[in-house]
Structure 1
Amino acid sequence: MLALSIGFLERLGLIVVFALLISRAVFFKKYVTGETDSWWVKILYGVFWGLLGVLMTLMGTPISGGVANSRTIPVLLSGIIGGPFVGTLSGVIAGLHRMLIFDGGDLTAFSCGVSTIVAGIIGGYSKKRLDAKPRRYYDGFFIGILVEVIQMGLILLLASPFDEAFALVKIIFLPMTFLNALGVGMFLYFIQQIYDENENASARMAHLSLQIANLSVSYLRKGLSQASAKAVSEIIFKLTQYDAVAITDTDVILAHLGAGEDHHQSGSPIWTQKTRDALQTGLIQQAQSLKEVGCNHESCQLSSVIVVPLKVNERPIGTLKVYKTKPNAINKPDIELVKGLGTLFSTQLELGVIEKQKEMRAKAELVALRAQIKPHFLFNALNAIMSLTRTDPDKARTLLQELSVVLRNGFKNSEPFISLEDELRFIDAYLNIEKARFPDKLNVEMTVEDALTLKLPPLILQPLVENAVKHGIQKKQGPGHLRVEIKREGEEVLFTISDDGVGMPEVPVKATIETDYESSGIGLLNVKERLLSIYRRELSIISAPNEGTLIKFSIPYQRIEEN
């Protein structure tokens, strides 16, 4: 028994050393993490594990018509790591060798051959269960015990004569069961380190992708250009250890930093076939050799690449690429990082397009508002001026000046912010014309706090004043009062526009803002949207039939020199 245990311990030591060495190999890490999962790889590793099983048989210790060996360790591991196909294939190779080829141990040749195949199958179908476990080695140890118990049972069931089989089992059961199961557990312990390293690398890559995305958002929101591509490429190149980073549009290289920048120059045509494939298919492309990368330049050293398409509305508009100069150097964390960056960059580019469209719409509406001098307003204003030319020429001259202010405001270039003084001058000109038309109808009270040197978006106040005049006071029987108050409250400036006109029912208030273009134009809706977009402030409207309307909003106070 002691000599038998020493033999198992020697083989166990070899397995531990082998596990330590192979767990450091890059090709084996990729196999364990599933990065190389093609059928030829499965066949290759099935044969590899099967031959290891054969080796363990050859290194076994002949005893009482059997062979005390560690064959189940590589066979069981092949299934646990590679799945049912790999486990079954290795089990068949090692099992048939034990059953038909190995010279010796005839008593248990058939039973051990069958049990070896069963071990591979059990290992393969245990993979999913163990992959979900945080400690694979712990569960692997008990599965190893189960497999050895099944092997002993098959020896007793199939070997003949039974008395010799029973005597053999009594000798080998404890050392073979415990030490082989321990070997499975120890090998899986080293494998667990590969999984842990991969998970830690994935976590680091996830953090890195968010860091890169945060630094690049201000550039990509402006669109995909040489300037934005260069800035983003510099961020990625600085924060990662890739040998080269590149961004392209659909035709040319926008930026390329690192190895190969002597011929992969900004503005030059796309060199690599993988880039063209990504643009054409909209799918991630990767290459692990210089030939697969597809650069025809004779001095190019770019031997591994991941190419991720950048999309807007599901249509590729460019690519993000990371390169390494060593072949087979792209691993799963690299793919996850670049894939995540591609998704984040595509989202940023889409948001940039949306913001640009929104900005263009807001500018168009602002231009429309400024140009919205309706024919009937101009006709009525000119009529009022003409009627005063004989009775009150001075007043007619003043109204012409006021009309010129209104017209000039409609034709001036659109600016993002104007002074409060300019906005109030426009409102004053508009109200003076309206009061001239309805001298006994419109009474205006305007209160503006002194020393307010505020800048604000143009036409943020005038449409509200016009709405109060047109839809509140003009429809009222008898005179009406319009009050405009602007005052500072802490760090806010409060604007209040109120009238005692006809008012509105509660339900139509929202409709007036959002849908009633015929009556209110785009003025109220534009004001509402710009307040939300620029200041994150709401437009408050309180109205009741025959009582009037009260409109309030506030914006942060910034003096002109602070803007």
Structure 2
Amino acid sequence: MLVLAMLERLGIIVTVAFLLTRLPFFRRLFDAQLQINFRQRLLLVVVFGCFGIIGTYTGIVVNPIDDSMYRWTTVLGEDEALANSRVLGVVVAGLLGGWRIGIGAGLIAGVHRFFLGGFTGFACGIATIVAGAIAGIISKKQKKNRIVTPQVAFIVGASAEAVQMLIILGIARPFDLALALVQDIGLPMIIANGIGTALFVLIIRSVIQEEERMGAVQSQKALRIANLTLTHMRKGLTPVSAGEVCAILYKEIPSLAVAITDRNKILSHIGNGLDHHGTGEEIRTEATKYVIESGQGVTVGKESIQCENPDCMLQAAVIAPLKRKDQTIGTLKVYFSSERMISPIMLELIRGLSTLLSHQLEIADGEKHKELARESEIKMLQAQVSPHFLFNALNTIVSLIRTNPDHARKLLLSLSAFFRQNLAGTTRQVSTLSEEVEHVKSYLSIEEARFYDRLDVYYDIEDGALLAAVPPLTLQPLVENAVKHGLKGKSEDGKLIVRANKEENRIKIEVEDNGEGIDSARITSLLESPVTSEKGTGIGLYNLNERLVKMIDEKSGLSIQSEKGKGTVISFSVPSPNAKRLEEVM
């Protein structure tokens, strides 16, 4: 009977456990990343101490002399004791908050029990404090678990009550009375408090795990949305990107409609109300203007939506800002049938999505600036001409003016063509292999004049390859590298070959020299690190390789074959003109 009476009190345990899970500071106990401050710790001590006091008052008064029991009391007689759940609150405090909170709650509940009276008052007061300490020690040893398991809670709760029975036997007097009391209430209290502690912990674990599961679902949804929207938001905030993003959000968020605006107009509206909440219309609602000006999100009802259509289903909305850096550049608007449909979780999801989209817009802006900077660097490198080359070319021309004026005139024309092609390369995105070969011929005509009979140049180029599209100023730097580095030690019989032949659906372009070659260890580093040419145009092989890969495809990267003392072949490939046309037709 006593066990059943004690178990009836578990309804109070369920209520208190549920209420505690609603308190924000209580949740901090289970977050390993957060620390509770002294004030919050003190508040927890008071809460659990009061819980222990409630357990005392809801206990059953037991008189072991006449073997009587009755419920609810505020004062105990000298021959009376209590069968109660006081230890339960103290044990839970120690298990969840550690020994400080456990002992603190034990002090409050224990002192209260002492002043309540009865021949076990002092013993029960001491036992309550000891129970908090025991639970705190067990909690410390359970480091890997934020919350102990119900099984551990049952064992600790039952053990703490068993210790209390031993303390009663050791301290309470007369001993015969204490022994009779323990025989009457010992086993029922051990069982009931063990079950109560396990139930308390189980409720807390269930509530928190359920909320964590819901949070994980929302996080998974947010990550999925982030993955789906990233490609579109990289294009910036445009009507096209806004339309794609709105379609994704409308599918993922249970809502009536989704809209995205810039600072002036609606970029896209997907869902209900499309007939009168039209894409491209100017922003009219004061709530949206407020969000744009203040940068603060709002939740609005029907009146604030200011829809003139009496049949409009859009009765509530969450309006969140879209920001780039610290400036609000637009809004995300999610519409619902009523404000009751906007749950706290839904509100947090929309706020999180607006932040996520804002970050994506900042990334898009950063990538745009990075691309502009990269293009500017390429243009700068393309426009560079080695002063050594210019001075050497002018000196060669000067030396030929008197001895061979016609040749000097041809070299001036070649130099002019060389500069013209260099400047043209800074304003063009693509060139043809034919134009690149002409640029190389202008350059080599000057170098051949300087080298006299020490350099022989050969061209092996298929006619069909000349129409192949290549990035501007791609071939000439390879030829210049071969002349300046590969053939610099050649006193005679220097040979340079420029090839372009079709291989399947690509054009393979090669520059070969019979110079001193490149160390095998250096070949890899030339393409993996941005080492620029010290005496050439400034466009190193690494930069050329990057341009080819980024502007065409991975297959177009440079390939270097070289053997020390036997020359070097540097090659790359581009899609053939016929292959490109075939791809366009398909």
Distance 1:440 1:138, change over 3 A: same
8 A contact 2:127–2:167 mirrored in 1: yes
Q: 1:543 to 1:17 in 2, by over 3 A?
A: closer
Q: Quick one: which of 66, 87, 104 aligns to 1:72?
A: 87
Q: Is the 8 A contact 1:306 1:338 kept in 2?
A: no
- Preserved CA contact (<8 Å) 1:115 1:154: yes
Task: Report what 1:11 is aligned to.
Answer: 9
Residue 27 of structure 1 deviates from its aligned partner by 5.8
| Per-residue deviation, 1:405 | 3.1
Q: Which amino acid aligns with 1:465?
A: V
- In the alignment, residue 212 of structure 2 is paired with which amino acid? E
Q: Which of 203, 208, 212 is the matching residue for 1:199? A: 212
Query: Structure 1 residue aligned with 2:468, among 454, 457, 467?
Result: 454
Q: For 2:294, which of 270, 283, 286 is the aligned residue?
A: 270
* 1:87 to partner: Cα distance: 3.2
State the aligned residue count. Answer: 524
Counterparts of 1:30 and 1:319, CA distance in 2 = 37
TM-score (norm: length of structure 1): 0.73
What is the root-mean-square deviation in Å for CA atoms of aligned residues? 5.2
In 2, Cα distance between equivalents of 1:151 and 1:321: 63
- Tell me if 1:109 matches 2:121: yes
Equivalent residue, structure 2, for 1:119: 131
CA distance in 2 between partners of 1:340 and 1:118 (Å): 52
Letter aligned with residue 54 of structure 1: I
- How far did residue 107 of structure 1 move? 1.7
SS at match of 1:56: helix
2:421 counterpart of 1:406? no
Residues 110 and 128 of structure 2 are in contact (CA less than 8 Å); yes or no, is this contact kept in structure 1?
yes
Contact 1:310 1:320 survives alignment (8 Å): no
Q: How far apart in 1 are the matches of 2:550 and 2:423? A: 24
Does the 8 Å CA contact 2:324/2:361 hold for their aligned counterparts?
no
In structure 1, C-alpha distance between the alignment counterparts of 2:107 and 2:536, rounded to whole Å: 83
Structure 2 counterpart of 1:161: 174
Tell me by how many angstroms 1:178 deviates.
1.2
Match of 2:106 in 1: 91
Report what 1:279 is aligned to: none
Q: 1:47 to 1:539 in 2, by over 3 A?
A: same
Contact 1:209 1:340 in 2 (8 A): no
For residues 75-124 of structure 1, give each alpha carbon's deviation from its aligned partner in whole angstroms, at most 9, with x where no partner exists: 22233334444433432232222110x25xx1211111222222233334
| Aligned mates of 1:88, 1:308 — CA distance in 2 | 50
SS in structure 2 of the partner of residue 495 of structure 1: strand
C-alpha offsets along residues 303-334 of structure 1, whole Å, 9 cap, x if unaligned?
Answer: x99999998xxxx88899999989x9868995
What residue number does 2:540 align with? Answer: 524
Alpha-carbon distance in 2 for matches of 1:262, 1:130 = 55
1:19-72 CA distances to partner (integer Å, 9 max, x unpaired)?
A: 685478576985665589565554444333333322222222222232111122
Show structure 1 runs of 5+ residues with no match.
Answer: 276-289
What pairs with 1:372-383 in structure 2 (closer than 5 Å)?
372=385, 374=387, 375-376=390-391, 378-379=393-394, 382-383=397-398
Unaligned runs of 5+ in 2: 65-79, 271-283, 306-315
- Structure 1 residues 157, 32: CA separation in 2 closer, same or farther (over 3 Å shift)? same
| Equivalent-residue separation in structure 2 for 1:237 and 1:84 (angstroms) | 50
Change (3 A) 1:107 1:29: closer
Aligned-residue identity in percent: 28
Q: CA offsets, 1:203-238, max 9 Å, x none? A: 324423432432344466578x79899789957787
**CA spacing shift, 1:202–1:132, aligned 2, 3 Å:** farther
> 1:70 and 1:472, CA in 2 relative to 1: closer, same or farther beyond 3 A?
closer
1:548 aligns with 2:534: no
Distance 1:262 1:43, change over 3 A: farther
Kindly report which structure 2 residues correspond to 1:74-473, keeping only aligned pairs within 5 A, or say none: 74-100=89-115, 102=116, 106-130=118-142, 132-133=144-145, 136-218=149-231, 239=252, 262-265=286-289, 268-270=292-294, 338=352, 349=362, 353=366, 356-357=369-370, 360-372=373-385, 374=387, 375-376=390-391, 378-379=393-394, 382-383=397-398, 386=401, 396=409, 402-412=414-424, 413-435=426-448, 440-452=453-465, 453-473=467-487
Contact 1:468–1:499 under 8 Å retained in 2: yes
Letter in 1 for 2:539: G
Could you tell which deviates more after superposition, 200-209 or 134-143? Answer: 200-209
